[in-house]
């Protein structure tokens, strides 16, 4: 018997704060897994995490090799011009080869599955953005206080 079978009131809230491929995918994958288990799921995009849902940026999220020794790239080489582009192309190819959706398709899929996507009011104001800058799946721009209120009783992940 599934130990979560009777848990119909579970909720997961994810704070997405990074706008890189390696920062965005963990949040999207966790949201997908939660939704597949029937868990109410909310994603709150703040600071550079807004890039994940910003129409002009979501298709161009980079991978930054600088300060990331797990990539296997020597740290003396990582800051050289063009290395971020190389790392990004390599990561996108690996993601594609695994049949994982690109960022825009993933965001749409999560929305279609019932995820709630929110943009952070303070960051939107700070970056001079407005609701028209975001993917259509974003429900609204809300304050951190609003998100805290809606996350009451939820599991909370900060990525």
Using pLDDT thresholds of 50, 70 and 90, give the confidence band for residue 1.
very low
Rounded CA separation 156/147 (Å): 11
pLDDT, tens only, 22-69: 999 999 999 999 999 999 999 999 999 999 999 999 999 998 877 666
CATH class of 11-158: alpha beta
Residue extents of the structural domains in the chain: 11-158
Write the CB contacts of 23 (distance below 8 Å, at least 6 apart in sequence).
16, 17, 48, 49, 159
* Residue 130 near residue 123, CB atoms below 8 Å: no
This prediction's pTM: 0.87
pLDDT, tens only, 88-132: 788 888 888 899 999 999 999 999 999 999 999 999 999 999 999
Enclosing H/E stretch for 4: none
């Amino acid at each position: 018997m599934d130990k979560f079978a009777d848990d119909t009131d579970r909720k997961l809230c994810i704070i997405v704060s990074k706008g890189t491929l390696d920062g965005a995918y963990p949040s999207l994958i966790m949201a997908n897994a939660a939704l597949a288990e029937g868990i109410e799921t909310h994603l709150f995009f703040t600071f550079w995490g807004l890039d994940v849902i910003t129409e002009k940026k979501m298709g161009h999220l980079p991978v930054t090799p600088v300060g990331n020794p797990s990539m296997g790239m020597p740290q003396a080489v990582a800051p050289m011009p063009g290395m971020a582009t190389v790392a990004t192309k390599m990561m996108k190819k690996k993601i594609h080869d695994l049949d994982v959706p690109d960022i825009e398709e993933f965001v749409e899929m999560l929305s279609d599955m019932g995820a709630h996507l929110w943009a952070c009011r303070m960051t939107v104001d700070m970056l001079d953005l407005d609701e028209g800058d975001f993917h259509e799946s974003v429900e609204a721009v809300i304050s951190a206080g609003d998100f805290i209120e809606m996350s009451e009783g939820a599991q909370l992940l900060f990525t």
